[in-house]
Amino acid sequence: MKKIKRRAWAALLLALALLFGTGVYVWRFAHSYRQWINFSANENLFRDGALALGTVTDRNGVVLAAVSEGRRVFADSAATRTACLHAVGDTAGNIGTGALTAFADRLTGYSLLTGATSGAGGTVALSIDERLNRTAWSALAGRRGAVLLMDYKTGEILCMVSSPSYDPNVGFDATNSWYDGVWLNRCLSAAYTPGSVFKLVTLAAAVEHIRDLDTRRFTCTGSVTVDGNVLVCSGVHGEQTVEQALANSCNCAFAELSLELGGETLRQYAERFGLTRQLQVSGVWTAAGRFEASPARSADLAWSGIGQSTDLVSPVALLRLVAAIANGGAVRELSLLRGAPGGSARLLRADTAERLAAMMHYNVVYSYGQWNFPNLDLCAKTGTAEVGDGTSHAWFAGFLADEAHPYAFVVIVEHGGGGLGNAGPVANALLQAAVSIS
């Protein structure tokens, strides 16, 4: 019996293995339960693959999406539904960056302790103001593009509109090519040729690297030849200071700066400003941009320094840069959720930011025309990005140097033509609305 008694402990080895496996399972459970529950087959939370729980509101509590009798319902007004589509998302989860998908774990009302409750789920208050979204949507007037506005003091995104869009209660005609790429939130998930708005990057590098920048004069004869290639300017600007060159958006001057700074320096700045990598906004990943450092003295380098060549920038990354310039060089990280401030990151030296802000203000006064932006203390930069098919994307990016209205914005109108003439009015309409609301 003594022998068998001793051998009996062998049976306990199996129990130990079971105990160990149970430990592994509990550890994995604690580690991955959020991933496990966010599975479209999980009927505790999803119906037909769509999240069947939770309420999404805008920053003022206006309901953008709710659940009624087990079905997902959207805002009462068709304009709100259309203008907020990409911020809110769709029931099928096609808009991956929409709140219904991106913030599903907050909407479920799930907690580890109580599990998935059979109640209404949780509420997510977005940072956007549906009134501003409607304003931006109507200002786009059926053109494709993206509009972003944020509070650069808090990091909250107050307006985020992507066009094309549709009313989720109605759906859209998939055969109509205007709706191509409708699932894409162009603010976060698209990267465009930046054109002249990229001159802000080149300028920031120049301010920090070229000692005689303030005293230097740039001569523009309407074109410049680099490495045998002719680079055409938008006009014949003659002799200019750097402020004037930016206000004129003079390609000759910025080609000269780019060649002097070199591709590697420009690449470093684009990288430091977060233009080339994916960013996270409230946990949502954005599209990465692109900047390729071309060889010294090449035409490609000159082109890339003025935002052409192979450059790509996402609207949200550009917004982050202008917000940093507005906020003394340090950006409050962007947020899609109300009252959920992110961290802070320094993108530029304070004096560089101040310099850039002053020149962007000079742009408006000297070149863009203050009368186009009545009563706004505006600092901005236009962009007219040639996309190779003879058309141009119209960009307008900037901010209000106004403590009471600390708004930064980015507007892009796809194939919209000149930046000032096409994106400018959208920005103005939005800023006027934002100022009057607050």
Q: Which is nearer to other proteins, 15 or 170 (CB)?
A: 15
CB 433 within 8 A of CB 135: yes
Q: Tell me, by CB under 8 A, how many residues bind other proteins.
A: 44
Residue pair 50/92 in contact (Cβ under 8 Å)? The answer is yes
By the 8 A CB rule, do 254 and 242 touch? no
How far is it, in rounded angstroms, from Cα 366 to Cα 383? 16
Kindly state whether residue 325 participates in binding other proteins, applying the rule CB under 8 A.
Answer: no
Among 48, 60, 71, 112, interactor with other proteins by CB under 8 A: 112
Confirm or reject binding of residue 75 to other proteins (CB under 8 A).
Answer: no
Q: Confirm or reject binding of residue 174 to other proteins (CB under 8 A).
A: no
Q: What would the two tokens of residue 70 be? A: 């087990």
The least distance separating other proteins from the CB of residue 54, rounded to whole angstroms, comes to 14
CB of 67 to other proteins, least distance (A): 17
Does residue 25 bind other proteins (CB under 8 A)? yes
Within residues 115-154, the interface with other proteins by CB under 8 A covers 115-118
> Minimum distance from CB of 319 to other proteins (Å)?
34
Among 35, 68, 177, 215, binds other proteins (CB under 8 A): 35
- Rule CB under 8 A: is residue 211 a binding residue for other proteins? no
Helix (H) or strand (E) holding 229, with range, is strand 229-232
Q: Name which of 52 and 128 has its Cβ closer to other proteins.
A: 52
Q: Examine residue 236 and tell whether it contacts other proteins (CB under 8 A).
A: no
Q: What is the DSSP letter of 31?
A: H
Tell the smallest beta-carbon distance from residue 89 to other proteins (Å). 20
Least gap, CB of 15 to other proteins (angstroms): 5
Q: How far is the CB of 120 from other proteins (least distance, A)?
A: 15
CB 64 within 8 Å of CB 130: yes
Q: Let me know: does 224 contact 256? Beta carbons within 8 Å.
A: yes
Applying CB under 8 A, the span of 18-26, 56-64, 123-131, 217-225 interacting with other proteins comes to: 18-26
Give me the torsion for CA of 267, 272, 273, 275, rounded to 10°.
50
Among 8, 174, 230, 404, binds other proteins (CB under 8 A): 8
Answer yes or no whether residue 230 interacts with other proteins by CB under 8 A. no
> Which residues, in sequence order, are CB contacts of 111 under 8 Å at separation 6+?
none
SS3 sequence of 258-323: HHHHCHHHHHHHHHHCCCCCCCEECCEECCCCECCCCCCCCHHHHHHHCCCCCCEECHHHHHHHHH
Residues lying near other proteins in the complex (CB under 8 A) are found at 1-12, 14-15, 17-19, 21-22, 24-26, 28-29, 32-33, 35-37, 39, 41-45, 110-118
